[in-house]
Amino acid sequence: MDIGLKSRDDFLEGQVLLIDKPLEWTSFDAVNSIKWAIKRRFGLRKIKVGHAGTLDPLASGLLIICTGKATKKISEIQSAPKEYEGIITLGATTPSYDMETQVDQRFETDGIQEAMIRAMTKEFTGKIKQVPPVYSAIRKDGKRLYEYARSGEYVEIKSREVEIMQFDILSVQMPEVGFRVRCSKGTYIRSLAHDFGQKLGCGAYLSSLRRTRIGDFNVNKALHPKEFGEMLKSEGE
């Protein structure tokens, strides 16, 4: 992404920035980094900055950040289909459906063949019902689901309808399965990985995830938050 010679007024009027969120950064970390870089560069006390779709700390990839009046576009951008690439690890499960929590069960995978894995993607293509992970930021009765999970409280989570437009297997190197998914807003790839393992009868969890697209926006044109800050700084010198 070329931020060009943007002025103070450009950022206040509104910019749509493509950011490549690093692993272990929260989406808030990335937004804060961009916001601080803009405020410091132009001596601003206040500027609106927000993101169009959270990425978990254990996921990397495209995070769209809007500034100024462009924050009004956030809802529209969030509703666009998203594309992810990642790795599903078969033969084990975790409570969070990813690597945030430790493995709690292990299963044999000797009978799982590559042909079975590839065929199973058809079961998850189209409109499907999905239960979000209990380790998620969805609110129920005023609390985040992960707050219930971390305190050991049981909470009933209703399923929701999502759409998987494309589910491709990119590689199979047991127990790791590389995949690409194109899906609707609200889809939890962690839940998809968990449910995929359940259907195969061997358990599974998400061990790697990268968001590559949101609508027509591609991560190939995105900047690391620190790279954005350095470019903005150098343009002012």
What's the token pair of residue 125?
């293509």
CB 104 within 8 A of CB 97: no
For residue 195, indicate whether it is catalytic.
no
State the catalytic residue, choosing from 2, 10, 56, 104.
56
Q: Which residue has the tokens 């589910």?
A: 167
Q: Are 169 and 121 in contact, with CB atoms under 8 Å apart?
A: yes
Closest Cα partner for 101 from 136, 77, 75? 136
d(CA 209, CA 219): 13
Structure tokens at 92: 């084990």
Q: Tell me, what DSSP letter sits at residue 110? A: T
* Nearest of 84, 36, 29, 22 to residue 51 by alpha carbon: 29
At residue 28, the 3 state secondary structure works out as helix
Residue 75 one-letter amino acid: S
Buried b (16+ CB within 10 A) or exposed e, 24-54: ebebeebbebbbebbeebbeeeebebbbbbe
Q: Please state whether the peptide bond connecting residue 175 to the residue before it is cis, i.e. omega within 30 degrees of 0.
A: yes
The residues carrying an active-site annotation are 56
